[in-house]
Amino acid sequence: MCTGANVDGGNAVVGTTVYMPCLWGIEAVETSPTLSVRWQASDAGLPPIVVAGWGPPIVAGGLVWSIEGGTLYGLDPTSAAVVQRLSVGGEANHFPTPSVGDGLLLAPTSDQVVAFSGSAGIPGPPSPAPPAPPNSSYWMVASDGGIFTFGNAGFFGSAGGLRLVRPVVGMAPTSSKGGYWLVASDGGIFDYGDAGFYGSMGGKPLNQPIVGMAASPDGGGYWMVASDGGIFSFGDARFFGSMGGKPLNKPIVGMASTRDGLGYWLVASDGGIFSFGDAAFHGSMGGKPLNKPIVGMASTSDALGYWLVASDGGIFDFGDAGFFGSAGGTPLNRPAVGLAATPDGRGYWIVASDGGVFNYGDANFYGSEGGLRLNKPMVGIASAS
C-alpha cells in the first residue's frame, strides 16, 4: 500500500501477503479478504528509510529478509520482530536485494557479495532455548516498571520506558504464569500477558501509599495493600478485612494470599503478622528484636506457613515453612527487597535492590542483574516456575 510514498523496489509475495519496501521500511500487506496493513517494520522499532534505504525483501528460511544500511535483517513474517541481524560489512548500492542459491543467503554490498548459511543451509529462526531446570524461572521488577526474565519466564511487556506517575512497588503473576500485574505506589495497575485488568486505585485518593499486591488463585482478581494496612480488592478477590484505620507499631510492607484465595496475611516492617479470612496465624517477629526491618513475605504452597525476609537477607520461617538458608550475616552490596518461594515450598529466592539473587533449597539460580547497571532499583521478585 505504501500510502503517500513510493515503493522502493520489488515486492515479495507469500500466499495472500505482500511484503513491500516502503519509505518507512518493510510493510506487510494482507490482500484477502480485503486490503489491510498487517505490520510495518517501524512497529518493531526498526529504523525508517535512510540514505542507503531498506532494500526489496525476499522470504527464505521462514523469515522476511531485507538490507538496511550495512545490516541484513531477518524479520518474523507475522510480527516484524527481528529474529536475525547480520552485518554485511558495508553499505550496499541502490535497492540492495538479497537472494538465495545453493543453500546460501546472499547479500550484496558496494563491492562484494556476502554469503550466509545456518546449520541446515539458509539461516532461519534460532532453535528454541532448552527448558530451564525445575524451579529456576523467575521475574524481577524495578521501580520504573522494567521487567527482567530468567529461565523460561516469559516476557509479556513492561512499564520500563513509560512515564509513571508513581514508582512501581510490586508485582504478581497469574496462575498460568502467562502474565503478570505490576502495581505502583498510587495504586495504578499495569497488566501484561493473560493478566486481566479489573480496576485500580490510580487517580483516587489514598491515605497511605500502596506497598504490595497479591493475585487470586484463578487470576480473576487481585488485592493491593497500603502501608497503613488498608486493603483494596478487585475482580473476584474478596475483602476479608484490613488494618486500615487501626493503630500499627510499624508500617505494612507486604502481603501474601492463601491457596484458595479465601484469606491473606499482611506483614509489617517489625515482623508483625495480621491474618484475615482463612489465613491462619503461625507466628510473627512482632515485639522481637530485629537486626534490620522486614521487607517482604511469601507463603508455602499449602498455605500452612510463611517466610519473612529482612533487608539484610535474614529469613524467618513459621508454620510448615522450612528454613533453607539466608543471607543474614552475609555482606550485601545492596539491601534485600523481596522474596519468592518455589511452587513446592522447598526453596526460595531473595532479590536485592541491585538485582542480585540469592537462592536456597530447591530454588535454582538462573541469572541475576547483580553487578549490572540498572536504570532504577529492583523492588520485587516472582516465581515463574
Lowest mean pLDDT among 37-51, 216-230, 249-263, 285-299: 37-51
Mean pLDDT, residues 62-73 = 86
Q: What is the pLDDT at residue 129?
A: 65
Q: What is the pLDDT at residue 88?
A: 83
| Contact indicator for 71, 128 with CB cutoff of 8 Å | no
pLDDT, tens digit, 9 for 90 and up, residues 351-377: 999 999 999 999 999 999 999 889 999
- Taking the C-alpha atoms of residue 208 and residue 304, their distance in angstroms, rounded to an integer, is 30
Q: For the chain, how far is it from start to end, CA to CA, in angstroms? A: 44
Q: What is the pLDDT at residue 51?
A: 35
Q: What is the pLDDT at residue 93?
A: 67
- Taking the C-alpha atoms of residue 306 and residue 54, their distance in angstroms, rounded to an integer, is 56
Output the CA–CA distances (angstroms, integers) from residue 34 to 12, 15, 67, 229, 343, in the order listed: 18, 14, 29, 55, 48
| Contact indicator for 306, 265 with CB cutoff of 8 Å | yes
Mean pLDDT, residues 99-128 = 81
| Contact indicator for 73, 46 with CB cutoff of 8 Å | yes
Backbone angles phi, psi at 43, to 5 degrees: -65, -30
Q: What is the pLDDT at residue 21?
A: 85
Mean pLDDT, residues 187-193 = 96
Specify which residues 139 forms β-bridges with: 149, 382
Answer whether residue 8 shows pLDDT above 70: no
Q: Are strands 82-87 and 71-75 parallel, antiparallel or unpaired?
A: antiparallel
- Residue 74 gets the label, from left (phi > 0), alpha (psi -120 to 50) or beta, of beta
Answer whether residue 86 shows pLDDT above 50: yes
| Contact indicator for 142, 148 with CB cutoff of 8 Å | yes
Helix, strand, coil shares, percent, the chain, to 5: 0, 40, 60
pLDDT, tens digit, 9 for 90 and up, residues 283-330: 999 999 999 999 999 999 899 999 999 999 999 999 999 999 999 999
Q: How confident is the model at residue 49 (pLDDT cuts 50, 70, 90)?
A: very low
Q: What is the pLDDT at residue 112?
A: 86
Q: What is the pLDDT at residue 36?
A: 81
- Taking the C-alpha atoms of residue 161 and residue 157, their distance in angstroms, rounded to an integer, is 11
Residue 42 burial class via C-beta count within 10 angstroms: exposed 0-12, middle 13-18, buried 19 and up: middle
Q: How confident is the model at residue 123 (pLDDT cuts 50, 70, 90)?
A: confident
Question: What is the percentage of the chain residues whose pLDDT exceeds 70?
Answer: 91
Is pLDDT larger for residue 164 or for residue 78?
164
Q: What is the pLDDT at residue 48?
A: 46
What pTM value is reported for the model? 0.71
- Taking the C-alpha atoms of residue 274 and residue 281, their distance in angstroms, rounded to an integer, is 8
Mean pLDDT, residues 114-134 = 77
Is pLDDT larger for residue 79 or for residue 216?
216
Q: What is the mean pLDDT of the chain?
A: 90
- Taking the C-alpha atoms of residue 258 and residue 301, their distance in angstroms, rounded to an integer, is 8
Answer whether residue 52 shows pLDDT above 50: no
Locate cell 484477502: which residue? 32
Is pLDDT larger for residue 190 or for residue 32?
190
Non-local (6+) Cβ contacts of 289 within 8 A are none
What domains lie within the chain, and their CATH numbers? 12-116 (2.40.128.630), 138-383 (2.130.10.10)
Is pLDDT larger for residue 327 or for residue 79?
327
Amino acid at 178: G
